[in-house]
Structure 1
């Protein structure tokens, strides 16, 4: 990755936050392309990731067990926006991209790529689950592609990614990125 991670996260957040803000309460039970979650579960998971990756940016311990119900209160949309802004700010701090972080002692930029991937791919999951279009920033997609290629074998072994989905050679870059994570972008195409 060649761009500052905080800038990439800010760009991804600018596309994800409006999707969350405009998610209707009556759509929270809809299935998503991320088979483990309905919309409510997906939003809880993504918020939990965002909160914990703020800690990882500061080289503090994180806890990904037992996702709280971030959607329990009426202000969950505003909370998502606030937590996402805190995520961007945390990764903008001097030294956040340097060294290692997390229980697996990974390079901080690799860890940052993980949260960027979650923010981007889960925004797509949310958009598809609620029948809305989503187009990520091409720079974000370009930056993530190499990272996902490197992390895919380990992510599949750990059950984080599904098996890669076969797509035509001329498939757009973001569809190829989604396919590497085990998602079939063509099965969830919008009308």
Structure 2
């Protein structure tokens, strides 16, 4: 598969890869790391897991209805229940976008209205890939990450979130420099304002 930022192609295979990668990382979270910090400063590991579960359900609702009432992170998930909670949300997300018609149907979110394919690319895949790096770093990088996904996500981030578009209403900090030789995930993280 060639690396491209073309959002007119079907993004569902990339979504499958991105959420499968996240599912493997969520399954690798030990209970004693749930309170650990992540590079996404607003979340520790437990809060990030809640955000991922809620985000997958929100993405599913957009596929099902075209609009969403934003979810709150789930409450009462047992320390050993996060993998099952994410797997349930991931399964719903994939099923919600199974119909080809969802790719061209508009979805409405707080930052605009887009064809479903654009939302999946610049929303769900980009967020899943970015948070995979956050979670991986918080856990000490237990699994190899899909570098092609990060190259794609970086291309979309540069296109949809240019460096000058930061500040009020944009949930990303200024672009940060990254160490020489940083991989695609490190470059993506720096573009989105994370310390690498």
1:146 matches 2:155: yes
Alpha-carbon distance between aligned partners in 2 of 1:176 and 1:105, rounded to the nearest angstrom: 28
Once the two structures are superposed, what CA deviation does each residue of 1:12-69 show, in whole Å capped at 9, x if it has no partner?
1222111111211121111110000111000001110110001112343212253332
Which blocks of at least 5 consecutive residues in structure 1 are unaligned? Answer: 186-191
Q: State the SS of the aligned residue for 1:46.
A: helix
Alpha-carbon distance between aligned partners in 2 of 1:7 and 1:67, rounded to the nearest angstrom: 26
* Matched pairs, number: 185
1:39 matches 2:39: no
Alpha-carbon distance between aligned partners in 1 of 2:180 and 2:31, rounded to the nearest angstrom: 39
* 2:195 alignment partner, one of 178, 184, 189: 184
Cα separation, partners in 2 of 1:171 and 1:32, compared to 1, 3 Å: closer
* 2:130 alignment partner, one of 121, 141, 158: 121
Q: State the SS of the aligned residue for 2:178.
A: coil
Query: For structure 1, which segment, 127-136 or 47-56, has the greater mean C-alpha deviation from structure 2 after superposition?
Result: 127-136
Give the deviation of 1:9 after TM superposition.
1.2
Once the two structures are superposed, what CA deviation does each residue of 1:91-126 show, in whole Å capped at 9, x if it has no partner?
232212213202321232231121111211111111
Query: For structure 1, which segment, 63-72 or 22-31, has the greater mean C-alpha deviation from structure 2 after superposition?
Result: 63-72
Alpha-carbon distance between aligned partners in 1 of 2:76 and 2:170, rounded to the nearest angstrom: 24
8 A Cα contact 2:129 2:153, kept in partner: no
1:11 matches 2:17: yes
Give the deviation of 1:161 after TM superposition.
1.1
* 1:111 alignment partner, one of 90, 107, 119: 119
Q: State the SS of the aligned residue for 1:105.
A: strand
Query: For structure 1, which segment, 40-49 or 113-122, has the greater mean C-alpha deviation from structure 2 after superposition?
Result: 113-122
Alpha-carbon distance between aligned partners in 1 of 2:126 and 2:108, rounded to the nearest angstrom: 17
The normalised TM-score by structure 2 is 0.82
RMSD of aligned residue pairs (Cα, Å): 2.4
The normalised TM-score by structure 1 is 0.83
